[in-house]
Amino acid sequence: MNKRKLESNRPQILITNDDGIYAPGIYFLWKALKDHADITVVAPAGEQSAKALSITLSQPLHIRKVSWEGNTENLWSVTGTPADCVKLALREILNKTPDLIVSGINRGSNLGRNVLYSGTVGAAIEGSFQDIPSIAFSCQDFFEPDYETASRYIPHIIEYILNHPLPEGTLLNVNFPEKKLGKFKGFKMTSQGNNQWIENPDKRTHPAEGHHYYWLGCQLKRKASNDVWIEQGYITAVPVHIGDLTDWSHLKDKKEHFEKFFPEE
């Protein structure tokens, strides 16, 4: 990152995640950016994976200061979801709107349709809803994510987005390939793939009471998609648009037909 350029006008960045405030991925993200920007971290107090864009309405939320290696400045936990964290950060913790919201680094990829379940991406979507440029970062490797290597590339991606803003209603979904593939080959800006997780329930029996319970579980259903780039060792970046949810083509094609189908009262 062009450190001298940014330090003359340091950006304000909000960091969050879905793996929790003490997850290693968010710590590496903070370390990667703390010398280049004014950082505030607001993240879930515990694991909130697969919470998507859910918010907490049935119980109170608590905000608490936390400490990383003795550092307590601008570090907060929230007893809620990633979207809760963004909402409370913007309304209760920050005294000005950040220039950027960054979510991650997630343990496990957010490829294909998995983004619709992801709390990491959910936080970025919430940021986009608030008209704040937002980026979600994830490592493909779930069991041995190489956060250190990924974090070296993050400042450059941040600099690019700060200098080349995302369109309104668009977030950037970035995934880093597995460590076993060796040195990253480069970057590919591409489209979101259509791989998806399918249910694989594991039915079990309670040993004392005899009733059944389930671990939902999941398996990746692979389809031909642009996720192929990450399998080849490239860092992938997808501009995901969540602004206008209307299918305008279908509306134009079926509006009159749909409205005439129903009898007048």
Domain CATH for 17: 3.40.1210.10
Total domains, the chain: 1
DSSP of 93-119:
I-SS--SEEEEEEEES---GGGGGT-H
Greater pLDDT, 204 or 93: 93
Confidence of residue 104 (pLDDT cuts 50, 70, 90): very high
2 CB-contact burial (10 Å; exposed 0-12 / middle 13-18 / buried 19+):
exposed
As a whole number, mean pLDDT of residues 49-56 equals 94
CB atoms closer than 10 angstroms to residue 73:
11
Residue 27 lies in a domain: yes
Identity of residue 68: W
pLDDT digits (tens, 9 = 90+) for 58-96: 999 999 999 988 877 899 999 999 999 999 999 999 999
Residue 203 lies in a domain: no
Q: Cβ(179)–Cβ(235) under 8 Å?
A: no
Residue 161's domain spans which residues?
Answer: 3-193+224-261
pTM over 0.85: yes
Residue 253 lies in a domain: yes
Residue 215 lies in a domain: no
Residue 212 lies in a domain: no
Residue 35 lies in a domain: yes
Residue 82 lies in a domain: yes
Residue 51 lies in a domain: yes
Please report, rounded to a whole number, the percentage of residues in the chain having pLDDT higher than 70. 91
Please report, rounded to a whole number, the percentage of residues in the chain having pLDDT higher than 90. 67
Asked if the model's pLDDT at residue 23 lies above 60, the reply is: yes
As a whole number, mean pLDDT of residues 130-150 equals 94
